[in-house]
Amino acid sequence: MLHISASPRGAASESLQIANTFLETYRDTHPDDQIATWDLWDGTLPEFGPAAAGAKMTVFAGGTPDGEQATAWRAATDTFARFAAADRLLFSVPMWNASVPYILKQFIDVVSQPGMVFGVAPVTGYTHLLAGGNRRAAVVYTSAVWGPPLGPQFGRDFQSTYFGDWLSWTGITDISEIRYHPTLTGDADEARRQALATARDTAKTF
Ligand SMILES: Cc1cc2nc3c(=O)[nH]c(=O)nc-3n(C[C@H](O)[C@H](O)[C@H](O)COP(=O)(O)O)c2cc1C
């Protein structure tokens, strides 16, 4: 079990609190499983800049990266391996500006590589290389202003639509969602209580 956290807010984080509750139940109900947490803000996520993007295009064209590109490609490959080693994944994902925090997009850009996450054929399109295994994902989505019943004057959800689509694209289709969207007029304590209950229930059978 790997928990990947995209909130930088530490003890103040709603998504982390919900994820930690999930993990407490998971630990109780899956005593033989190893559990690791990866805080994406801890400095271990490599950047994906000019050398890495160059390496990706080199690999895409059937070549082998060298020099700076090789170093960047190794960092991306190692990061993919860290992610792909887990067959149970828990993501905590706050809404940032209607979408996901940029550190999570950085994670996606680092690990989403040809031959690792996807293949692509000119006529038939993408293949999803993490499909067919035993992988499952649970995602904690939180926001403060936007909520499912609200109209576009409170923003739109490009958070779960984008991230859920990315997970499916990798081939991970067994996805559970745990949501905390109290909105500015809702009962935050009741919404949190419900989210924590859903987290416990989901973890039991995960
Ligand atoms: C940089 C930033 C951008 C945010 N953008 C939105 C937003 O577009 N819509 C929204 O409803 N809440 C937004 N929020 C509020 C957070 O989504 C909300 O407080 C969430 O529960 C934070 O999760 P966390 O406590 O785990 O960090 C934003 C918060 C931050 C820090």
110/116 Cα distance (integer angstroms): 11
Contact yes or no for 9/16 (Cβ under 8 A) = yes
75/156 Cα distance (integer angstroms): 34
22/158 Cα distance (integer angstroms): 24
Q: Where are the alpha helices (DSSP H) in the chain?
A: 14-29, 50-60, 68-84, 102-111, 160-170, 188-204
Q: Tens digits of per-residue pLDDT, 92-127?
A: 999 999 999 999 999 999 999 999 999 999 999 999
* Total number of residues shown for the chain: 206
Q: Nearest 5°: CA angle at 56, between 132 and 91?
A: 50
Per-residue pLDDT at 30 exceeds 90: yes
**Quick one: which atom of ligand 1 is closest to the CA of 92?**
26
Q: How far is the CA of 174 from the centre of ligand 1 (A)?
A: 26
> What's the pLDDT at 133?
87
Q: Is the CB of 159 under 6 A from ligand 1?
A: no
Contact yes or no for 2/36 (Cβ under 8 A) = yes
The pTM for the full model equals 0.98
Ligand 1 site-directed mutation target among 37, 143, 146, 153, most atoms within 8 Å of CB:
143
What's the distance, CA 120 to chain centroid? Answer: 22
Q: Tens digits of per-residue pLDDT, 68-96?
A: 999 999 999 999 999 999 999 999 999 99
Among protein residues, the one with the nearest Cα to ligand 1's atom 8 is 97
Contact yes or no for 94/58 (Cβ under 8 A) = no
Q: Where are the alpha helices (DSSP H) in 61-180?
A: 68-84, 102-111, 160-170
Q: Is the CB of 164 under 6 A from ligand 1?
A: no
Q: Is the CB of 70 under 6 A from ligand 1?
A: no
Contact yes or no for 142/180 (Cβ under 8 A) = yes
